[in-house]
Protein backbone atom coordinates (compact mmCIF):
# COMPACT_ATOMS: atom_id res chain seq x y z
CA UNK A 1 0.00 0.00 0.00
CA UNK A 2 2.69 2.45 -1.05
CA UNK A 3 1.84 6.09 -0.38
CA UNK A 4 -1.05 5.44 2.03
CA UNK A 5 0.53 7.02 5.09
CA UNK A 6 3.02 9.32 3.38
CA UNK A 7 3.54 12.77 4.96
CA UNK A 8 2.33 15.89 3.17
CA UNK A 9 5.22 16.51 0.79
CA UNK A 10 5.36 19.04 -2.02
CA UNK A 11 8.60 20.32 -3.49
CA UNK A 12 8.13 24.05 -4.01
CA UNK A 13 8.52 24.72 -7.72
CA UNK A 14 10.23 27.89 -8.96
CA UNK A 15 10.83 28.82 -5.31
CA UNK A 16 13.66 31.33 -5.74
CA UNK A 17 12.12 32.84 -8.84
CA UNK A 18 8.75 33.42 -7.19
CA UNK A 19 10.32 34.89 -4.04
CA UNK A 20 12.31 37.32 -6.15
CA UNK A 21 9.23 38.19 -8.20
CA UNK A 22 7.19 38.98 -5.07
CA UNK A 23 9.70 41.70 -4.16
CA UNK A 24 9.04 41.08 -0.46
CA UNK A 25 9.05 44.01 2.00
CA UNK A 26 9.79 43.10 5.65
CA UNK A 27 6.71 44.97 6.91
CA UNK A 28 4.43 43.89 4.05
CA UNK A 29 1.32 41.72 4.03
CA UNK A 30 1.37 38.69 1.72
CA UNK A 31 -1.06 35.98 0.74
CA UNK A 32 -0.24 32.43 -0.30
CA UNK A 33 -3.49 31.28 -1.88
CA UNK A 34 -2.31 27.69 -2.32
CA UNK A 35 -0.53 27.00 0.96
CA UNK A 36 0.14 23.29 0.43
CA UNK A 37 2.85 22.08 2.79
CA UNK A 38 3.99 25.65 3.40
CA UNK A 39 7.19 25.58 1.33
CA UNK A 40 6.73 28.94 -0.39
CA UNK A 41 5.14 30.45 2.73
CA UNK A 42 8.04 29.41 4.96
CA UNK A 43 10.50 31.28 2.76
CA UNK A 44 8.21 34.32 2.53
CA UNK A 45 7.81 34.36 6.32
CA UNK A 46 11.59 34.20 6.81
CA UNK A 47 11.85 37.50 4.94
CA UNK A 48 9.22 39.29 7.03
CA UNK A 49 9.93 41.49 10.03
CA UNK A 50 7.87 41.77 13.22
CA UNK A 51 5.31 43.98 11.48
CA UNK A 52 5.03 41.71 8.44
CA UNK A 53 2.16 39.29 7.96
CA UNK A 54 1.39 36.24 5.87
CA UNK A 55 -2.07 34.79 5.19
CA UNK A 56 -2.10 31.22 3.91
CA UNK A 57 -5.14 29.59 2.30
CA UNK A 58 -5.76 25.98 1.37
CA UNK A 59 -8.87 23.83 1.07
CA UNK A 60 -7.03 20.59 1.87
CA UNK A 61 -7.21 19.61 5.54
CA UNK A 62 -3.93 17.67 5.38
CA UNK A 63 -2.18 20.70 3.90
CA UNK A 64 -3.52 22.97 6.63
CA UNK A 65 -2.16 20.64 9.34
CA UNK A 66 1.22 20.20 7.67
CA UNK A 67 1.68 23.91 6.98
CA UNK A 68 0.54 24.80 10.50
CA UNK A 69 3.30 22.65 11.96
CA UNK A 70 5.91 23.94 9.54
CA UNK A 71 5.07 27.61 10.12
CA UNK A 72 4.39 27.47 13.87
CA UNK A 73 7.71 29.13 14.77
CA UNK A 74 6.59 32.38 13.14
CA UNK A 75 3.78 32.84 15.64
CA UNK A 76 1.22 35.59 15.05
CA UNK A 77 2.83 36.69 11.81
CA UNK A 78 1.10 33.73 10.16
CA UNK A 79 -2.65 33.32 9.69
CA UNK A 80 -3.85 30.05 8.16
CA UNK A 81 -7.39 29.64 6.85
CA UNK A 82 -8.99 26.54 5.35
CA UNK A 83 -10.58 28.02 2.27
CA UNK A 84 -10.37 28.02 -1.51
CA UNK A 85 -8.37 30.93 -2.89
CA UNK A 86 -11.40 32.15 -4.83
CA UNK A 87 -12.75 33.17 -1.37
CA UNK A 88 -9.73 35.42 -0.77
CA UNK A 89 -11.82 38.58 -0.68
CA UNK A 90 -14.06 37.23 2.07
CA UNK A 91 -11.04 36.02 4.04
CA UNK A 92 -9.33 39.41 3.86
CA UNK A 93 -12.55 41.15 4.89
CA UNK A 94 -12.90 38.86 7.91
CA UNK A 95 -9.35 39.72 8.96
CA UNK A 96 -9.91 43.45 8.52
CA UNK A 97 -7.36 43.67 5.72
CA UNK A 98 -8.12 45.90 2.75
CA UNK A 99 -5.16 45.14 0.49
CA UNK A 100 -1.95 43.11 0.49
CA UNK A 101 1.53 43.61 -0.96
CA UNK A 102 1.79 40.33 -2.81
CA UNK A 103 -0.19 37.23 -3.75
CA UNK A 104 1.17 33.84 -4.80
CA UNK A 105 -0.70 30.97 -6.41
CA UNK A 106 1.04 27.65 -7.07
CA UNK A 107 -1.53 25.64 -9.03
CA UNK A 108 0.37 22.35 -8.91
CA UNK A 109 -0.99 19.22 -7.24
CA UNK A 110 1.12 18.14 -4.25
CA UNK A 111 3.10 14.91 -4.16
CA UNK A 112 1.04 13.96 -1.09
CA UNK A 113 -2.22 14.25 -3.01
CA UNK A 114 -0.87 12.33 -5.99
CA UNK A 115 0.77 9.58 -3.96
CA UNK A 116 -1.73 9.12 -1.14
CA UNK A 117 -3.91 6.13 -1.93
CA UNK A 118 -6.94 7.37 -0.06
CA UNK A 119 -7.21 10.50 -2.21
CA UNK A 120 -7.69 8.61 -5.49
CA UNK A 121 -5.79 11.13 -7.63
CA UNK A 122 -3.24 8.85 -9.24
CA UNK A 123 -3.43 6.25 -11.97
CA UNK A 124 -0.40 4.57 -10.38
CA UNK A 125 -2.41 2.96 -7.56
CA UNK A 126 -5.62 0.96 -7.61
CA UNK A 127 -7.90 2.68 -5.15
CA UNK A 128 -11.36 4.24 -4.90
CA UNK A 129 -12.02 7.11 -7.33
CA UNK A 130 -12.15 10.38 -5.41
CA UNK A 131 -9.84 13.27 -6.52
CA UNK A 132 -11.37 15.90 -4.21
CA UNK A 133 -8.97 18.64 -3.10
CA UNK A 134 -11.47 19.53 -0.39
CA UNK A 135 -12.92 16.40 1.22
CA UNK A 136 -15.92 18.45 2.43
CA UNK A 137 -17.04 18.63 -1.20
CA UNK A 138 -19.75 16.19 -2.28
CA UNK A 139 -18.83 15.72 -5.96
CA UNK A 140 -16.15 13.07 -6.56
CA UNK A 141 -14.39 11.63 -9.61
CA UNK A 142 -16.60 8.55 -9.20
CA UNK A 143 -19.68 10.71 -9.70
CA UNK A 144 -18.27 12.28 -12.85
CA UNK A 145 -17.23 8.96 -14.38
CA UNK A 146 -20.56 7.25 -13.65
CA UNK A 147 -23.12 10.06 -13.92
CA UNK A 148 -21.94 12.49 -16.59
CA UNK A 149 -23.23 12.00 -20.13
CA UNK A 150 -20.95 10.73 -22.89
CA UNK A 151 -20.94 14.21 -24.41
CA UNK A 152 -19.93 15.82 -21.10
CA UNK A 153 -17.15 13.28 -20.56
CA UNK A 154 -15.90 13.84 -24.10
CA UNK A 155 -15.75 17.61 -23.59
CA UNK A 156 -13.96 17.29 -20.25
CA UNK A 157 -11.32 14.86 -21.58
CA UNK A 158 -10.88 16.85 -24.80
CA UNK A 159 -10.69 20.31 -23.23
CA UNK A 160 -9.00 19.64 -19.89
CA UNK A 161 -6.91 16.63 -20.87
CA UNK A 162 -6.26 17.65 -24.48
CA UNK A 163 -6.41 13.97 -25.39
CA UNK A 164 -6.98 13.21 -29.07
CA UNK A 165 -8.70 9.94 -28.11
CA UNK A 166 -11.23 11.77 -25.91
CA UNK A 167 -14.24 10.67 -27.95
CA UNK A 168 -13.30 7.00 -27.82
CA UNK A 169 -12.39 7.12 -24.13
CA UNK A 170 -15.76 8.68 -23.27
CA UNK A 171 -17.52 6.03 -25.34
CA UNK A 172 -15.66 3.22 -23.57
CA UNK A 173 -16.42 4.67 -20.13
CA UNK A 174 -20.15 4.84 -20.85
CA UNK A 175 -20.16 1.30 -22.27
CA UNK A 176 -18.29 -0.10 -19.26
CA UNK A 177 -20.53 1.56 -16.65
CA UNK A 178 -23.61 0.03 -18.25
CA UNK A 179 -22.31 -3.34 -17.08
CA UNK A 180 -21.22 -2.20 -13.60
CA UNK A 181 -20.45 0.98 -11.69
CA UNK A 182 -16.84 2.13 -12.14
CA UNK A 183 -15.49 2.31 -8.59
CA UNK A 184 -11.70 2.36 -8.72
CA UNK A 185 -8.77 4.00 -10.47
CA UNK A 186 -7.65 0.55 -11.62
CA UNK A 187 -10.97 -0.10 -13.36
CA UNK A 188 -10.82 3.30 -15.06
CA UNK A 189 -7.24 2.62 -16.12
CA UNK A 190 -8.24 -0.57 -17.92
CA UNK A 191 -11.12 1.17 -19.69
CA UNK A 192 -8.87 4.00 -20.92
CA UNK A 193 -6.23 1.50 -21.99
CA UNK A 194 -8.78 -0.38 -24.11
CA UNK A 195 -9.86 2.88 -25.79
CA UNK A 196 -6.36 3.78 -27.05
CA UNK A 197 -4.63 1.91 -29.92
CA UNK A 198 -1.76 -0.32 -28.82
CA UNK A 199 0.83 1.61 -30.86
CA UNK A 200 -0.20 4.91 -29.26
CA UNK A 201 -0.01 3.48 -25.74
CA UNK A 202 3.71 2.96 -26.16
CA UNK A 203 4.42 6.66 -26.68
CA UNK A 204 3.66 9.83 -24.76
CA UNK A 205 3.67 8.47 -21.21
CA UNK A 206 0.94 6.63 -19.32
CA UNK A 207 -2.28 6.33 -21.37
CA UNK A 208 -4.42 7.46 -18.41
CA UNK A 209 -2.43 10.59 -17.57
CA UNK A 210 -4.49 13.06 -19.60
CA UNK A 211 -7.89 11.61 -18.67
CA UNK A 212 -7.09 11.54 -14.95
CA UNK A 213 -5.88 15.13 -15.16
CA UNK A 214 -9.07 16.17 -16.94
CA UNK A 215 -11.36 14.50 -14.41
CA UNK A 216 -9.42 16.03 -11.50
CA UNK A 217 -9.73 19.51 -13.04
CA UNK A 218 -13.47 19.03 -13.58
CA UNK A 219 -14.05 17.58 -10.10
CA UNK A 220 -12.41 20.54 -8.37
CA UNK A 221 -13.61 23.22 -10.81
CA UNK A 222 -9.98 24.28 -11.11
CA UNK A 223 -10.31 26.42 -14.22
CA UNK A 224 -13.54 28.09 -13.10
CA UNK A 225 -11.96 28.92 -9.73
CA UNK A 226 -8.87 30.33 -11.41
CA UNK A 227 -10.97 32.49 -13.74
CA UNK A 228 -12.89 33.91 -10.79
CA UNK A 229 -9.64 34.71 -8.97
CA UNK A 230 -8.02 36.37 -11.98
CA UNK A 231 -10.99 38.73 -12.30
CA UNK A 232 -10.59 40.07 -8.75
CA UNK A 233 -7.08 39.51 -7.38
CA UNK A 234 -5.58 42.69 -8.87
CA UNK A 235 -8.02 44.65 -6.71
CA UNK A 236 -6.63 43.06 -3.55
CA UNK A 237 -3.14 44.50 -4.16
CA UNK A 238 -1.57 47.69 -2.86
CA UNK A 239 0.11 49.90 -5.49
CA UNK A 240 3.37 48.23 -6.46
CA UNK A 241 2.15 44.87 -5.15
CA UNK A 242 2.88 41.73 -7.17
CA UNK A 243 0.59 38.89 -8.23
CA UNK A 244 2.57 35.71 -9.04
CA UNK A 245 0.96 32.63 -10.57
CA UNK A 246 2.67 29.29 -11.19
CA UNK A 247 0.77 27.11 -13.66
CA UNK A 248 1.29 23.51 -14.83
CA UNK A 249 -1.30 23.26 -17.59
CA UNK A 250 -1.46 25.03 -20.95
CA UNK A 251 -5.07 26.11 -20.37
CA UNK A 252 -4.18 27.64 -17.00
CA UNK A 253 -1.18 29.46 -18.44
CA UNK A 254 -3.27 30.82 -21.32
CA UNK A 255 -5.90 32.10 -18.89
CA UNK A 256 -3.30 33.87 -16.75
CA UNK A 257 -1.57 35.37 -19.77
CA UNK A 258 -4.88 36.69 -21.15
CA UNK A 259 -6.04 38.07 -17.79
CA UNK A 260 -2.74 39.86 -17.17
CA UNK A 261 -2.78 41.46 -20.62
CA UNK A 262 -6.38 42.56 -20.18
CA UNK A 263 -5.58 44.09 -16.77
CA UNK A 264 -2.67 45.98 -18.32
CA UNK A 265 -4.62 47.19 -21.33
CA UNK A 266 -8.40 46.91 -20.77
CA UNK A 267 -9.35 49.50 -23.41
CA UNK A 268 -12.06 48.22 -25.77
CA UNK A 269 -12.17 51.27 -28.06
CA UNK A 270 -11.57 50.69 -31.78
CA UNK A 271 -7.85 51.04 -32.61
CA UNK A 272 -8.50 53.93 -34.99
CA UNK A 273 -10.07 56.10 -32.23
CA UNK A 274 -7.86 59.15 -31.50
CA UNK A 275 -8.33 58.67 -27.73
CA UNK A 276 -9.94 56.27 -25.24
CA UNK A 277 -13.65 56.73 -24.58
CA UNK A 278 -14.53 53.39 -22.89
CA UNK A 279 -13.32 54.54 -19.47
CA UNK A 280 -11.44 51.32 -18.67
CA UNK A 281 -8.21 52.02 -16.81
CA UNK A 282 -5.09 49.91 -16.64
CA UNK A 283 -4.57 48.12 -13.31
CA UNK A 284 -0.82 47.88 -13.73
CA UNK A 285 1.78 46.15 -15.86
CA UNK A 286 2.79 42.66 -16.89
CA UNK A 287 6.26 42.03 -15.45
CA UNK A 288 6.86 38.79 -17.39
CA UNK A 289 6.28 39.14 -21.13
CA UNK A 290 7.35 35.51 -21.37
CA UNK A 291 6.82 33.03 -18.52
CA UNK A 292 9.70 32.19 -16.19
CA UNK A 293 10.66 28.51 -16.53
CA UNK A 294 12.52 26.14 -14.19
CA UNK A 295 16.28 26.05 -14.58
CA UNK A 296 18.37 23.02 -15.49
CA UNK A 297 19.18 22.19 -11.86
CA UNK A 298 15.54 22.23 -10.79
CA UNK A 299 14.49 20.10 -13.74
CA UNK A 300 17.02 17.46 -12.71
CA UNK A 301 16.01 17.54 -9.03
CA UNK A 302 12.25 17.67 -9.59
CA UNK A 303 10.85 16.13 -12.77
CA UNK A 304 7.36 17.39 -11.91
CA UNK A 305 8.58 20.96 -12.44
CA UNK A 306 8.93 20.40 -16.19
CA UNK A 307 5.61 22.00 -17.13
CA UNK A 308 5.77 24.84 -14.57
CA UNK A 309 5.35 28.44 -15.77
CA UNK A 310 5.57 31.58 -13.63
CA UNK A 311 3.86 34.81 -14.69
CA UNK A 312 3.94 38.07 -12.72
CA UNK A 313 1.75 41.18 -12.67
CA UNK A 314 2.46 44.41 -10.77
CA UNK A 315 -0.34 46.67 -9.53
CA UNK A 316 -0.15 50.21 -10.85
CA UNK A 317 -0.04 53.42 -8.85
CA UNK A 318 -3.06 54.97 -10.55
CA UNK A 319 -6.71 53.89 -10.51
CA UNK A 320 -6.26 51.91 -7.27
CA UNK A 321 -9.26 53.33 -5.46
CA UNK A 322 -11.73 50.74 -6.75
CA UNK A 323 -12.44 47.85 -4.41
CA UNK A 324 -15.90 46.88 -5.58
CA UNK A 325 -15.24 43.16 -5.31
CA UNK A 326 -14.61 43.30 -1.58
pLDDT at 1: 35
Q: Which of 199, 219, 239 is the last residue of a domain?
A: 219
User: pTM of this prediction?
Assistant: 0.89
* 23 and 105 together in one domain: yes
Rounded CA separation 11/180 (Å): 39
Evaluate whether residue 95 is within a structural domain: yes
pLDDT at 52: 98
pLDDT at 325: 35
Rg of the chain on CA atoms, in Å: 21
* 92 and 235 together in one domain: yes
* 249 and 202 together in one domain: no
Rounded CA separation 221/175 (Å): 26
* 95 and 234 together in one domain: yes
pLDDT at 4: 46
Q: Which of 189, 219, 249 is the last residue of a domain?
A: 219
Rounded CA separation 124/102 (Å): 37
Rounded CA separation 3/116 (Å): 5
How would you classify the pairing of strands 100-106 and 78-82? unpaired
Q: Could you tell me the residue range of the domain that residue 143 belongs to?
A: 138-219
- Is-contact 111 10, C-beta < 8 A? yes
Rounded CA separation 131/277 (Å): 47
pLDDT at 320: 41
| Total of domains in the chain | 2
Q: Determine whether 202 is exposed, middle or buried from the number of CB atoms within 10 Å of its CB (0-12, 13-18, 19+).
A: exposed
pLDDT at 5: 46
Q: Mean pLDDT per segment of 10 residues, for the chain of length 326 residues? A: 48 93 98 95 97 96 93 96 96 97 92 76 90 95 98 97 96 98 96 89 79 96 94 95 96 96 89 80 95 94 91 82 36
Supply the angle between the helices 222-232 and 209-219 in degrees, to the nearest 10: 50
Amino acid sequence: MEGKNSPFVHTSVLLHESLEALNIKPDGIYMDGTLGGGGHSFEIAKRLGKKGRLIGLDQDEAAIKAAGNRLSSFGERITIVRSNYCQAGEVLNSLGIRRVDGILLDLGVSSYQLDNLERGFSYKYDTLLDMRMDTRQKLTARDIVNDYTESELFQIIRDYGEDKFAKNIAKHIVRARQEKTIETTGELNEIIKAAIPVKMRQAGGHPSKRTFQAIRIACNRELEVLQEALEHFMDYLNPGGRFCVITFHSLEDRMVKTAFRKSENPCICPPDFPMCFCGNHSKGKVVTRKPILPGEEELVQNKRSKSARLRVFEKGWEGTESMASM
